[in-house]
Amino acid sequence: MKAYFITLFAVITILGCNSTSADNDSSIVSGSTDIPALFERTGKLATAVEWEKTKQKVAELKAKIQKEPNDVKSRLQIATIYITEARITGEHPYYYPAIDKILDGALIIDPVNYDATILKASVKLSQHKFEEAKALAEKARDINPNNAYAFGLLVDAHVELGNYDEAIASSDKMQALKPSLESYSRASYLREIFGDYKGSIEAMKLAVQAGLPGSEPQCWSRNTLGDLYLKTGNIAKAEEEFKFNLTLRPSYAFSLAGLAKVERSKKNYDGALALLDSAAAIIPEFSFHEQMAEIYALKGDNEKAQNKYAEVVKMLREDEQSGHLVSLELAKVYVKMNKLDEAKKYALMEYKARPANIDVNRELAIIAYKENDLQKFQEYLKAAKKTGSKDPELMELAAMPVKS
């Protein structure tokens, strides 16, 4: 679960409200009017009601920019639409560079535009460029210290960098400025990190209640709530949340994948695989294929598992080409493939960038355990446990018998 995805959608509600806009300043050098095209949807996503409206809106905004190259607001509206499309379609390798280009154009026109800076920080978070994201979020906060969204981005960046006290302080500030789906979801994530699953569930319920019914952000929150129920063993409630999402958005692939986790917990592996096939047919999300690989391994079909893991690596490599940093994700897959040298290389790359992050330390602890390096195992495990997290994988690792 990553709370920062929510900000990508929250910004749409503040576009045009907080910018220091240069739209009407004829002395500003015009930005390029060359706006990247929408990525054409296919399959079920192409039949969604909003798709035709999305294409029409983008065409209208492009026409405005052609007439007025300094129209920052229209550029930001297109960037926000593309961020939404990246989330819905999973076509991150196309959309991230496209969004970067659009935002760079807006910032050339208006270098201190709050909304453009916020969006840029959001994209950097999604690309796992956490230091860059933090710097941009701090810049946005300085431009408008009374807007909650910059503090939300700071929560996310600090969490990923392992600055948990700073993340809590930013979360408190965000909630004080604006209680919302975005602030509740972050409070939930922080409570989970600190081992408070009951509090995490309660905060995520508030996030769901605060969301627009049927909207993508609300579905994301409900899906995350389902995952929290799964982690705490409440399979029935998890299944209820995933199914409810699908009544609102039948093509919501992440809830299909959530139901696959439910079926996996019931040892209905074939049913889980069928659900994951359906999810993967909607969007090219690597985690769906990773789940498939894990299920093949549980079924004892190691050849299919290894082939599927290799497919995941290929997907991550393609994502990497768009500027997305995926070292930790690669490390996790290589561990499952039992390629420990590769896993260690990528985990240490991540550790160099954010040595205080508990997830990075947990992965290094897993690798050290498999390598029978007791000293390193205990060192990394201690760092991974420092927040009191009750993550099931971490708890299982901590309970592992120490090898002699």
DSSP string over 339-367: -HHHHHHHHHHHHHH-TT-HHHHHHHHHH
pLDDT for 38: 95
pLDDT for 71: 96
- Cβ contact 76:109 at 8 Å: no
pLDDT for 33: 80
Asked if residue 29 has pLDDT above 60, the reply is no
Q: Coil, strand or helix: which one is 136?
A: helix
pLDDT for 321: 85
- Tell me the CA distances in angstroms from 285 to 67, 103, 277, 346, 400, one per residue in order: 38, 25, 11, 21, 31
How many whole angstroms separate alpha carbon 204 and alpha carbon 189? Answer: 8
Q: What is the mean pLDDT of residues 346-362?
A: 98
pLDDT for 267: 97
Token representation of residue 127: 């690309």
Asked if residue 403 has pLDDT above 90, the reply is no
pLDDT for 93: 86
Tell me which residue of 217, 218, 167, 210 sits closest to 190, measured CA to CA. Answer: 167
Which tops the pLDDT comparison, 246 or 25? 246
Provide the percentage of residues in the chain whose pLDDT is more than 70: 92
pLDDT digits (tens, 9 = 90+) for 44-102: 889 888 899 999 999 999 999 999 999 999 999 999 999 989 988 888 889 999 999 99
pLDDT for 44: 85
Asked if residue 133 has pLDDT above 80, the reply is yes
How many whole angstroms separate alpha carbon 327 and alpha carbon 293? Answer: 19
pLDDT band, very low/low/confident/very high, at 239 (cuts 50, 70, 90): very high
Query: Mean pLDDT score of the chain, rounded to an integer?
Result: 92
Which tops the pLDDT comparison, 87 or 127? 127
Q: What is the mean pLDDT of residues 255-284?
A: 97
Q: What is the mean pLDDT of residues 192-208?
A: 98
pLDDT band, very low/low/confident/very high, at 25 (cuts 50, 70, 90): very low
Q: What is the mean pLDDT of residues 290-301?
A: 98
- Tell me the CA distances in angstroms from 107 to 118, 152, 241, 290, 330, one per residue in order: 11, 21, 40, 38, 33
Range in 83-87, 199-203, 333-337, 362-366 the model is least confident about: 83-87
Asked if residue 8 has pLDDT above 60, the reply is no
Range in 5-19, 49-63, 296-310, 379-393 the model is least confident about: 5-19
pLDDT for 132: 97
pLDDT band, very low/low/confident/very high, at 31 (cuts 50, 70, 90): low
pTM of the model: 0.89
Q: What is the mean pLDDT of residues 211-225?
A: 94
Provide the percentage of residues in the chain whose pLDDT is more than 90: 84
Q: What is the mean pLDDT of residues 115-138?
A: 96
HEC profile of 191-238: HHHCCCHHHHHHHHHHHHHHCCCCCHHHHHHHHHHHHHHHHCCCHHHH
pLDDT digits (tens, 9 = 90+) for 175-186: 999 999 999 999
- Work out the number of other CB atoms within 10 angstroms of the CB of residue 338: 10
pLDDT for 92: 85
Range in 208-217, 218-227, 269-278, 286-295 the model is least confident about: 208-217
